[in-house]
Amino acid sequence: MNTTPVIAIHGGAGTIAAVAADAASAQPYREALHAIVAAAQAALLRGAPALDAVCLAVEMLEDCPLFNAGHGAVFTHDETHELDAAVMSGADLRAGAIAGVSHIRRPVRAARAVMEDGAHVLLAGAGAEAFARARGLEMVDPSYFSTEARRQQLHHARAGDRVSLDHDGAPLAEGSKFGTVGAVALDVHGHLAAATSTGGMTNKRVGRIGDSPLIGAGTYADDATAAVSCTGSGEMFMRVVAAYDVCARMRYAGQTLQEATDTVVLQVLPKIDGRGGLIAVDRFGNVCLPFNTEGMYRAHARGAEAPHTAIHR
């Protein structure tokens, strides 16, 4: 018997400015989220594996300059780009990730290539780029990732001598953003998968790697429990191994997806000033999208039902 497929995506969390409540300002974000989740939904309805669906969604998010991954990624303090991505298959716990790259057009494809190669889980920097090049993945000049809005955002952050979350400040006006994109899915065969990609934090120190490419911290999937993709203050998500903690609470404490995600996002993370949220889907098709910030760009779709998009609560 086929399972009803489910897809959920996020485009970052943070202090989403009041301007986001303005329908006209929010419209480009809502339209992008809707189009991306609908494309992944259509793939799942055709029988595509969860892994294919999450990678498709994240590739589209990477290509959209509204979000901090791929084209439109934030700048480091040195005005460079360093991108991270990860994918994980819940069916067999295979995972792949890359970190600190600046020439790979679609980082999530490189992460999947690492997973499919199977020799390693995480490749970083020049080694990751050499691997991607050898696999025939599309390479670009780092300027491909740059947008003027992100450059202004860096200069704004430098002036205030701070590192910022993507959607803190004035997100829809590209004020001082940092965030992550991600997707989780359950396919018709009952398998789960997760994928996450990010440009990191505006004004971050060169060489900084966050939770997104770390399996268990920002990305995790296990058919026995759930698929999870996180977004927010990466250092805090790393310290509590947030994505895996959700699955562990379900497996060992018997918590539901709702209980596990609410505990991690609303109790565990705030204790160490961890800001952000996550998206998760469990093996039964339940979806949870909790966040402890003002908002989180998100969308989800179940079966053939019309997709839902949201920014604030």
| Active site positions, annotated | 180
- Cα–Cα distance for residue pair 34/106, rounded to 1 Å: 21
Q: Sign of the C-alpha dihedral, residues 111, 113, 115, 118?
A: negative
100: left (phi over 0), alpha (psi -120 to 50) or beta: left
- Cα–Cα distance for residue pair 147/251, rounded to 1 Å: 43
- Cα–Cα distance for residue pair 142/77, rounded to 1 Å: 15
> Can you name the residues that pair with 250 across neighbouring β-strands?
none
CA nearest to 6, candidates 313, 306, 286 = 286
What are the tokens at 203? 């004004």
User: β-strand 219-221 against 226-232: which pairing, if any?
Assistant: antiparallel
CA nearest to 265, candidates 249, 286, 253 = 249
